Amino acid sequence: MAKIHYARVDEFWRKEEKYAYLDEKQHAGNVRWQELHPDLKGNWLTEGMREDFETFMPIGSKEGKRSKAPDLEVMFGSYSRGISTSRDEWVYDFDRDELEKKILSHRKLQFGSCEILAGRQSNQSRQVC
């Protein structure tokens, strides 16, 4: 079975501080490692986890989704990952101007594709896009 060795630095260190730490150590053998032992579910970062978590009612489960049994307790009988457009790159940005540029360029791409499709199917009278 594989062993898990873990080393932790200050969580608020910036990238440069982490690089400096690695430069100072020069070799993995110079790092003070802690051997971790996963729990029965394979969780190996368990510090601060509460034991009573397992007693909570699940939000949803595969068993609950398949089961028609009323005694199987889950909050929601059916669940999914929700609506997925796979367009996050096109519809989210921290900068409003950049977002507008993305949306406009996406519209141009769509319009251009429609023209290409319409040109290929010019013998048909229906609108392609």
Q: Decide: pTM greater than 0.75.
A: no
SS (H, E, C) the chain: CCCEEECCCCCCCCHHHHHHHHHHHCCHHHCCCEEECCCCCCCCCCCCCCHHHHHCCCCCCHHHHHCCCCCCCCCCCCCCCCCCCCCHHHHCCCCHHHHHHHHHHHHHHHHHHHHHHHHHCCCCCCCCC
Across all residues in the chain, what is the average pLDDT? 77
Quick one: pLDDT band at residue 73, thresholds 50, 70, 90? Answer: confident
* Tens digits of residue pLDDT in 22-35: 999 999 999 999 99
The pLDDT of residue 112 is above 60: no
The mean pLDDT of 39-64, rounded to a whole number, is 77
pLDDT digits (tens, 9 = 90+) for 90-104: 788 899 999 889 888
- Band of pLDDT at residue 67, cut at 50, 70 and 90: low
Q: What is the pLDDT of residue 126?
A: 47
